[in-house]
Structure 1
Amino acid sequence: MRFTPAAIALSMLAAVTSSAVIGADYEPDQRAAALIAEGHAQLEAGDTQAAIDSFEAALTIDPGYTPIYLNLAEAARRENLQGKAIHYYRAAQERDPENIAAISGEGEALAEKGAMESARRNLTRLEELCGNSCEEATQLAAAIDRGPIQPVITAEAISSDSGVTQN
């Protein structure tokens, strides 16, 4: 009984200290940071697959660093792999549920894929978090207005007309 006030005080101190540590900015591992920088350079150079490889290697080194998921999602979108991008955006949101970039990116990928109702839900969520005028909300609204990406049709995908005869 006589240790109860001291125990309560120590537990409160531990709770305050631990929450301050949790809220601190997370710095990536140095090796992962180098791979992320390399991936950004490759992405800017147009080598999307090499950028994806660099980002995946960085993710292997430091799986707790949320921006890697956002980088992977952006690279996947540039490869027109919206489903894969949505997966990465959702992984980022699992780690940080109010990550505005992840919510916006997922909404844009959903709009590009044609899931307009889901994209509008993301827009509503963004507007609740940052308002109508934040950059992410305006980008998502523009993506919804553009609509889905039209798939590229190759010559092999078009069947030939069997009515053609040889003379």
Structure 2
Amino acid sequence: MRFSTVAVAAALTVVSVSTSLSGQRPDTQIDARSLQLLAQGRSLKAAGNLDGATDMLETAVAVDPRNRAAFVELGRVAEARELPGKAIRLYREALLLEPNDVTALQGQGSALVMKGAVLRARDNLAKIRTICKGQCPEAVQLAAIIAKGPPITTAQVVKPATPAKD
């Protein structure tokens, strides 16, 4: 009597776990609608429509939050808009999905240089070199960006208003 209730509970547990696992997609399979939206977002970005590209790419991420390429492309759009802080965050989202994504590491390193965090960008370069185990285009690009350094910004000089002459 005692064994039958335990056996029934174990059987129900196995059945419920196996059905929930069979209904999930593997991590490598991204929703086709999300990939289509990603392609549309890339074409809008190439055409110079950054607002439309952002909308499409954000929709792609909403459809399938595992679409790492959409996060990377959103980061590139943010860099094109000169928003390095937002780009860093978006690249970090891509890196949470795949920590060894050299494209996301290179993009994040580039955004870090724009923000002035050259030491953190060098850490990204070291990670890329470790992953590639040799020369890869992402490492070369990031090394060139680091060598160039952060953009020079100057303070805007405001001229005092001249008094009106009567």
**Which structure has the greater CA radius of gyration?**
2
Match of 1:113 in 2: 115
Structure 1 distance, partners of 2:44, 2:94, is 22
TM-score (normalizing by structure 2): 0.77
Question: 1:96 maps to what in 2?
Answer: 98
2:34 touches 2:67 (CA, 8 Å); kept in 1?
no
Q: Does 1:43 align with 2:23?
A: no
1:141 matches 2:143: yes
Q: Any conservation in 1 of the 2:103–2:138 contact (CA below 8 Å)?
A: yes
Structure 1, unpaired ranges of 5+: 1-17
Deviation at 1:165, TM superposition (A): 4.1
Aligned length: 142
TM-score between both structures, scaled by the size of structure 1: 0.76
Asked if 2 retains the 8 angstrom alpha-carbon contact of 1:74 and 1:85, the reply is yes
Cα distance in structure 2, aligned partners of 1:68 and 1:165: 54
Q: Please give the per-residue CA displacement for 1:93-120, whole angstroms capped at 9, x wherever unaligned.
A: 1111111111111111101111111111
Unaligned 5+ runs, structure 2: 1-20
Counting aligned pairs with the same residue, the percent is 34
1:78 aligns with 2:85: no
2:130 pairs with one of 128, 131, 136: 128
In 2, Cα distance between equivalents of 1:151 and 1:59: 33
* Distance in 2 separating the partners of 1:141 and 1:132: 13
Contact 1:112 1:143 in 2 (8 A): no
The answer (yes or no) to whether the contact 1:131–1:137 under 8 Å persists in 2 is no
- Taking the aligned partners of 1:100 and 1:109, their CA distance within structure 2 comes to 14
Give 1:151 deviation, angstroms: 4.6
